[in-house]
Amino acid sequence: MELHTLTIHEAARLLGTREISAAELTHAVLERIDAVEPLVDAYITVTKDAAKAAADAADRVIAKGEAGPLCGIPLAIKDLICTRDIKTTCASKMLENFHPPYDATVMEKLNAAGAVLVGKANMDEFAMGSSTENSGIKPTKNPWDLARVPGGSSGGSAACVAADMCLGSLGSDTGGSIRQPASHCGVVGIKPTYGRVSRFGLVAFASSLDQIGPLAKDVTDAAMLLNAISGYDPRDSTSVNQPVPDYAAGLTGDIKGLKIGIPKEYHTGEGIAEAVSSAIEKAMAVFKDAGAEFVEINLPHTDYAVAAYYVIAPAEASSNLARYDGVKYGLRDPQSRGLRDMYNNTRSKGFGAEVQRRFLLGTYALSAGYYDAYYKKASQVRTLIKQDFKNAFAACDLILAPVAPTPAFKFGENIDDPLRMYLSDVFTLSANLAGVPGLSVPCGFSKEGLPIGLQLMGNYFDEAAILNAAYFFEQQTDFHKQKAGLMP
Amino acid sequence: MKISREEVLHVADLARLTVDDEAVGMFAEQLGSILEYVEKLGAVDTSGITPTAHAVEMANAFRKDDTTHHLQRDAALANAPEAEEGHFIVPKVIE
């Protein structure tokens, strides 16, 4: 048996019956990393020794019969989630040697559950990008086609799941950064409702949009991970005190009477690849055959989402990342003369081009004389987008749409044209602006064999509905069982 | 929309960035095309619409003014580019 190919729920069962040990499982995953990481480059740091020690500790807990469902499960964590004493770089020269003095809340929860951290996953620098080409360390390759990007910004988190270099991972999603790479790499990824998962210890990009979520080999695994990381946290003042259902237990696969909203703005737009629209249509037929009801809905401000997002997100980023001043942590340019010179040199050397571009854009939008025309206007349009979703959910239980207009693109295809790269986020960033949950589940392949994801968006705090619908879809199809033909 | 080199340099200065000559031209062109795209927001009637700062409505999050978990000084200084005797060291601020 190739242990690294197991899902979390399969591995948990085998660990529970003592057919395998956590040490064996972690060993298999580390061997897989040795074999295919040189091809994929999904990790910034592999925590080999700590992983072995954590696996041994998990085996002791299992022996005592006290293990929960994630005990002994090897996971990867996006490198912008703080891990105590383990390098957390945000894929930036600015934080190349940053060792956080504390764990993020999600890490505390995973550690308490006995999960095994095997490594920190690559990403676009400070989560700004849709391809991992903006990583200040290295680009990650798509396991399905090494000449293509894995998507981004959680490209490493998606690629290492697709390449079986971990059993599941955590990413973060500010405008699609979990769902789009999940779609491009053929894995399941969910962005929870804003406030569902604590952001304490998540390095901030755009605080009103950022949310941590899982990437996994199937929906059951995603639900198990979401169970472990959700919940109110007093250390995150935007965390919401709402009861958390057992997402894994809620997966019945029963969708009778489900009302699925079809927003025409997401299905008729220009630039949707034929492979994507045909996969989405086939997916709709699967739901229809099982008795789901389709409702035509309108999200009339969809066409303005990209523009609003690319004012709001850079504005928040330019303010949030002002903290990198070369004083408290991170890079400092030693050649500088005086404080002001030190600030400017440190920031210019520490941040890559895309991060600097967003600072300029955000600072422009917030600067004297432009605030009302840009930031305030975009925030008003955000209200209208939110209202669109509220109106839509009065008529349906969830919304079905594509994740990305095309399958994974080639390296270099969009990198010289930032606007074109931004436009590829058109179907995902409305969920962040509105704060609703969304997921990507594999729903087909292009002619070239590239995975395509189906997006389901849910009402506020109703992750259970989209997970259950995705679970139903998975039971009817085998797209999630296909593996990237990665030959070490 | 046209963004001048001077505007790029002004905004870069506000953002505490030093942008070299070649990059000024590139940023001017890219910011111009992004802002031109953003202008489409002008077509939306937003009169009387309250701006949204947070997706989920929430009231102020108060907590008791109690001492809870906090970082020890050595741990807080451990990542500093320069520290001495329990302090961050910074370049000379006042000439």
Are A344 and B44 an interchain contact pair (Cβ–Cβ within 8 Å)? no
Taking residue A138's Cβ as centre, other Cβ atoms within 10 Å add up to 15
Question: What is the rounded average pLDDT of the residues A356-375?
Answer: 95
Q: What mean pLDDT comes out for the span A391-409?
A: 97
Cβ separation of B38 and A310 shorter than 8 Å?
Answer: yes
Is A357 close to B90, i.e. CB distance below 8 A?
A: no
Is the pLDDT at A45 greater than 80? The verdict is yes
Helices (H), A339-454: 339-350, 353-366, 377-393, 418-423, 429-434
DSSP annotation of A80? T
Model confidence at A488: pLDDT above 70: no
Question: Per-residue b/e over A71-94, b at no fewer than 16 CB within 10 Å?
Answer: bbbbbbbbbbbbbbebbbbbbbbb
Mean pLDDT confidence for A122-134: 97
Looking at chain B, how many residues does it have? 95
- Taking CA–CA distances from B50, the nearest residue in chain A reads A380
pLDDT band at A1 (very low <50, low <70, confident <90, very high): confident
> Residue A12's pLDDT is what?
98
pLDDT digits (tens, 9 = 90+) for A221-233: 999 999 999 999 9
Q: Is B13 inside a domain boundary?
A: yes
Q: Number of folded domains in chain B? A: 1
Mean pLDDT of chain A: 96
Whether residues B16 and A343 touch (CB distance < 8 A) is answered with yes
Cβ within 8 Å of residue A417, ≥6 positions away: none
Question: Which candidate from A307, A339, A379 shows the least CB-CB separation from B53?
Answer: A379
Closest by CA to A455, choosing from A400, A416, A409, is A400
* The predicted structure's pLDDT at residue B69: 79
* Chain A partners within 8 Å of B15 (Cβ): 318, 347, 356, 359-360, 362-363
A78 included as an active-site residue: yes
Instruction: Kindly list the domain boundaries of chain A, sorted by start residue.
Output: 3-257+410-481, 303-379
Query: How far is the C-alpha of A448 from the C-alpha of A435, rounded, in Å?
Result: 34
Confidence of residue A350 (pLDDT cuts 50, 70, 90): very high
- Within 8 A of A340 by CB-CB distance, chain B residues are 16
Q: Looking at residue A416, what is its pLDDT?
A: 85
Tell me whether residue B15 is in a domain.
yes
**For residue A425, what are the contacts with CB-CB under 8 A and spacing of at least 6?**
A130, A175, A176, A180, A306, A309
Q: Is B40 on the interface with A (CB under 8 A)?
A: yes
A153 assigned to active site: yes
Q: What is the dihedral of CA A113, A12, A456, A128, to 10 degrees?
A: 50
Task: Measure the CA dihedral A362/A368/A369/A370, to 10°.
Answer: 10
Checking ipTM against 0.90, whether it exceeds it is: yes
Angle at A88 between CA A112 and CA A321, to 5 degrees: 120
pLDDT in tens, B21-42: 999 999 999 999 999 999 999 9
Residue among B49, B79, B91 minimizing CB distance to A339 = B91
Q: Answer yes or no: is pLDDT of A40 > 70.
A: yes
The span from the CA of A179 to the CA of A438, in Å, is 8
Interface test with B, best of A208, A241, A360 (most B CBs within 10 A): A360
Q: How far is A264 from chain B (nearest CA, A)?
A: 19
- Assess whether A237 carries a catalytic annotation: no
What pLDDT shows up at residue B95? 67
CA distances from A352 to A98, A178, A418 (A): 17, 22, 14
Statement: residue A311 has pLDDT above 80: yes
Across the beta sheet with A168-173, the strand order is A43-46, A116-121, A74-78, A168-173, A211-216, A188-191, A438-445, A451-458, A398-402, A259-263, A293-297
B17 domain-assigned:
yes
Confidence category of residue A153, pLDDT binned at 50, 70, 90: very high
What is the model's pLDDT at position A313? 98
Q: Could you identify the residue written with the tokens 């890219």?
A: B30
Within-domain flag for B34: yes
Report angle CA A264, A458, A215 to the nearest 5 degrees: 110
Residue B61 scores a pLDDT above 90: no
The pLDDT mean for chain B works out to: 92
Tokens of B83: 């520290």
Q: Is residue B9 part of a domain?
A: yes
pLDDT band at A119 (very low <50, low <70, confident <90, very high): very high
Q: Which CATH architecture has domain A3-257+410-481?
A: Alpha-Beta Complex (3.90)
Q: Which residues contact A175 (CB under 8 A, 6 or more apart)?
A: A209, A309, A313, A425, A428, A429, A432
Non-local CB neighbours of B1 within 8 Å, separated by 6+ positions: B32, B33, B35, B36, B39
Give me the residue from B18, B44, B61 closest to A345, CB to CB: B18
Which of A94, A380, A384, A463 should one mutate to test binding to chain B, selecting the residue with the greatest count of B CBs within 10 A?
A380
pLDDT at A176: 98
Distance CA A286, CA A284 (A): 5
Contact yes or no for A132/A415 (Cβ under 8 A): no
Taking the CA atoms of A66, A70, A73 and A77 in sequence, report the sign of the dihedral they define. Answer: negative
Structure tokens at A61: 């807990």
pLDDT bracket for residue B1 (50, 70, 90): confident
The answer to whether the CB of A362 falls within 8 A of the CB of A314 is yes
- A118, A22 contact by CB (below 8 A): no
CA–CA distance, A44 with A122 (Å, rounded to integer):
5
Cα A294 to Cα A280, A428, A464: the distances in Å are 14, 21, 19
Residue A172's contacts (CB-CB under 8 Å, 6 or more residues apart) are A78, A80, A81, A127, A153, A154, A178, A202, A205, A210, A211, A212, A213
Question: Which residues of chain A from 165 to 204 reach within 8 Å of chain B, CB to CB?
Answer: 193-195
Question: Domain range for residue B30?
Answer: 5-43
Active-site residue, from A92, A131, A135, A153: A153
Is B28 near chain A, with CB under 8 Å?
A: no
**Lowest-confidence range among A198-207, A298-307, A419-428?**
A419-428
Map residue A304 onto helix, strand or coil: helix
Mean pLDDT of A337-365: 96
Q: Which of A40, A45, A124, A111 is nearest to A73 (CA)?
A: A111
A12 neighbors A69 (Cβ within 8 angstroms) = yes
B44-56 in b/e burial notation, b at 16+ Cβ within 10 A?
bebeebeebeebb
> In terms of CA atoms, which chain B residue is nearest residue A100?
B79
